Structure 1
Amino acid sequence: MTPKRGDEVAPPPVAGEWCLRFATNEAAKGWGELAAEAPGNTRRCYEALRGDPQAQVDPDRQHRLRGRLAVRTLGGACYPQWEYEVTSGGRVRYLVDEARRTVWLVAAGTRHPKDTE
């Protein structure tokens, strides 16, 4: 999405950080809802994804999805799909584009996704 007057300014990645981008309008909306509901946890998610989107230090909070959700296509390319647990129900799903060092947020929301139940 193109920024407009009144939008927040996202800091650019520095010193090896990953660039975070919204892949869908729904992800952008859901991110805003998460930030309003749990700002501290959403900030920790942001920092984790900026630093190492494929970290496996805390697999209960940040992990690659499995089965039919393990890979997702964006712009004709396939990427591994990961999930970050922001709150007990809130999740962020993202794709890792290693070639561009970009994390594509494809879904975000305050409720647990139904497709993993």
Structure 2
Amino acid sequence: MSTGRGDRAAPPAPEGQWEVRFADAASAKGWESLAQQARGNTYRAWVTLRTDPTPRDETPRHHRLKGALAHGTHRGRTCEQWQIEVTGGGRIWYLADTSRFTCWITFAGTGHPRATDH
């Protein structure tokens, strides 16, 4: 996804916080839809991604995915895959690249991801 005139500029992560990046254009588009539907919750999710993306104490709304979805690969690196439930159906899935302190958003959207419908 290229940026241009009028696009928001995300600040770089300060010391001790994680970078948050989109893995692909679809996740960026889904993020915008999610932000339009649930602005405050999406912002709180972004803060969580920056400050505590892999919490020791998981909750029903923020947890590591299980089974075949527990890991994902981005740019040749295999990482744990996590989920934040932003709304009843809205989700953010991301890969936690712990060596680079980067969260790669692999899915963001207002509806439940189809990959879990098995």
TM-score under structure 2 length normalisation: 0.94
Q: How does 1:31-110 map to 2 (within 5 A)?
A: 31-110=31-110
TM-score under structure 1 length normalisation: 0.95
Query: Does the C-alpha gap of structure 1 residues 76 and 58 become closer, same or farther in structure 2, counting only changes over 3 Å?
Result: closer
Q: Give % identity.
A: 48
Over 4 Å off, 4+ runs = none
8 Å contact kept, 1:56–1:62: no
Per the TM alignment, residue 56 of structure 1 is displaced from its structure 2 partner at its CA by 4.2
Per-residue CA deviations over 1:9-41 (Å, capped at 9, x if unaligned) read 112111311000000111000000000000000
**Unmatched runs of 5 consecutive residues or more in structure 2:** none
Per the TM alignment, residue 50 of structure 1 is displaced from its structure 2 partner at its CA by 0.3
Which residue does the alignment assign to 2:5? Answer: 5
Per the TM alignment, residue 111 of structure 1 is displaced from its structure 2 partner at its CA by 0.3
Q: For structure 1, which segment, 56-65 or 8-17, has the greater mean C-alpha deviation from structure 2 after superposition?
A: 56-65
Which residue does the alignment assign to 1:28? Answer: 28
**Unmatched runs of 5 consecutive residues or more in structure 1:** none
8 Å contact kept, 1:65–1:82: yes
Q: For structure 1, which segment, 20-29 or 72-81, has the greater mean C-alpha deviation from structure 2 after superposition?
A: 72-81
Distance in 1, matches of 2:26 and 2:71, equals: 19
Distance in 2, matches of 1:19 and 1:73, equals: 17
